[in-house]
Amino acid sequence: MSAGSLVPIAVFFTMALGVWGGLSLVAERRARAADRLVRLLKSSASRPRSDALLRRQDRIQSLVTRVAPALSKPLKPRDEAELGKLRLALLNAGFRQENAVQIFLGIKFLCLVSALGISIPLVALKRGLDSTGIQIIFVSSAVAFYLPGIVLSQIRKKRQEAIFLGLPDALDLMVVCVEAGLGLDAAMRRVASEMIDACPVLCEELAIANFQVQMGRPRKEVLHDLGQRTGVDDVRALAAVLIQAERFGASIAQALRVQSDSMRVRRRQLAEERAAKTAVLLLLPLVLFIFPGIFVVLVGPAGIKIATTLMAK
C-alpha cells in the first residue's frame, strides 16, 4: 500500500474522530430543563440558610429599633432646624428609614460611652487620673463622639460624587428616549432600568421618583424632592429646568441636552482640577521619601571618600 492511498484513510479517520468528539460533547450537555432543575434544587437547598440569615438580620434590626430611641434621647436636637439638617444629611447619604436619626444619634451616644468605658480604666491603670490622663480621656471620647459624623460625611460625599459623575450619561440616554417618543416618566424608568449597573445610586433615586409619580404625587414636588434628597447641585438645577420646561411648554429634550452638555463640561473641569492638584499632592512624598534617597545616592560616595581621607591623615 502506497503513501498516497493512506492519505484518504487518514482523512476519513480524522473526520470520524472529530464528529464523534463533537457528538459526545453535545450528548454530555444537559438540556435546559435539567439545568433549570439543578438551579431550583440548589436554590431550595440554600433557601433555609438564607431564611435563617434574614431572620437573624430582622432580629438585629428590631433590637436596634427598640434600643435606638433610648440611646438617642440625650443627644436629640431641641431645635427643629438642626433636626431637619441631620435628617437631610442622612437622606443625602442614602439612609431613608423613619428612625434613621434615632439610630445615628444612638450610635454616637454608644461610641461615646464605649470610649469612656475603655479609656478611663486603661488611663487609670497606666498613668493615673492626672491632668494628662484626663486630657487623653477627653480626646479619645471626642474622637469617638465625632467619628460617626465623619463617616456619615464621607458616605455622603462619595454618594454625591457617584451621582454627579453618572448624571451626564443618564441625561444623554434620557434625551434619546424622549426624542424617540417616550414621555419623561417612561424615559426615567428606562434610564433607571438600563443604567442600574453603571450608576446604581442614581438609578435608585430615579426609581424612587418614578414610584412617587405612579403613586399620584405631582411631578413638580417629586422633582423638587429628588434634588433635595440627593443633595447634588446639578440634580437641583435639572429639577428646576424640568419644572420650568413643563410649566412653559418648552422642549424637554432640548432642555435635557443643554443640561447634559453643561454637566459634561463641569465634569471635564473637575477632572482638570484634580489633575492640576496632583503635582501639589506629590510634593510632600517627593520631599520626604524620594529626595533623601537621591541625596544619599549622589552625595554618599563623595562623603565616604572625604571621611576616608580625613581619617587617613
Q: Given a cut of 80, is residue 19 above it in pLDDT?
A: no
**Average pLDDT along the chain:** 77
Burial group, residue 110, by CB count within 10 angstroms (0-12, 13-18, 19+): middle
Model confidence, pTM: 0.66
* Each residue's pLDDT tens digit, 35-63: 655 665 555 544 555 556 556 655 655 65
Range among 25-29, 49-53, 295-299 with highest mean pLDDT value: 295-299
Measured between alpha carbons, how far is 252 from 255 in angstroms, rounded to an integer? 5
Q: Given a cut of 70, is residue 83 above it in pLDDT?
A: yes
Query: Please, which pLDDT band fits residue 135 given cuts at 50, 70 and 90?
Result: confident
The CATH number given to 161-270 is 1.20.81
* Each residue's pLDDT tens digit, 103-118: 888 888 888 888 888 8
* Each residue's pLDDT tens digit, 204-229: 888 888 888 888 888 888 888 888 88
